[in-house]
A = this chain, B = another copy of it.
Amino acid sequence: MTVMQTTAATSGPNATRTDICSAPPRRHPRPDGQDRYTISEVVAFTGLTAHTLRWYERIGLMSHIDRSHTGQRRYTNRDLDWLDFVGKLRMTGMPVADMVRYAELVREGESTYAQRQELLAATRRDVLTRIAELQDTLAVLDRKISFYADADRVREAERTR
């Protein structure tokens, strides 16, 4: 059975004073400066639907998105990073309401660092629990699968007996 390792990351002193802390090693479709993506581009990049993107904005999961002169949304690289992170949180099973709460903390600024840290730490604990549960499930599946494999072997033996 393969086993993955979690890399503990360091965020150096170059961490900028931005909403989205600690720049991820992600490559953006276009460099900063030319990052004014239409909603359909973001759909293509993220796999989310346009409905979902607009809905995220309505419920406050994304802060106000830039608009073109005709009122169309123009997403930035930073928005993509945030969507990336939201995707991670979604995978942990965190309810959308909690993500909105985190987004609000981000909008409130640096004074909420401690609360954000605690929220993420709690999430981290949940994730560890989830992983352990899944490992457990994996063991059960392996047991059952090998039961069926054995049954197959036995039948084969009987057939060629």
Which residues of A come within 8 Å of B, CB atoms? Answer: 1, 3-11, 13, 15, 21-22, 24, 85, 88-89, 91-92, 110, 113-114, 116-117, 120-121, 123-124, 127-128, 130-152
Whether B152 lies near A117 (C-beta < 8 A) is yes
* Distance (whole angstroms) from the CB of A91 to the closest CB of chain B: 5
Q: How far is the CA of A135 from the CA of B120 in the complex (A)?
A: 15
| Copies of this chain in the oligomer | 2
Q: How far is the CA of A15 from the CA of B153 in the complex (A)?
A: 13
Instruction: Summarize A's interface: helix, strand, loop or mixed.
Output: helix
Enumerate chain B residues within 8 angstroms of A127, measured Cβ to Cβ.
134, 137-138, 141
* Distance (whole angstroms) from the CB of A27 to the closest CB of chain B: 16
Whether B135 lies near A4 (C-beta < 8 A) is yes
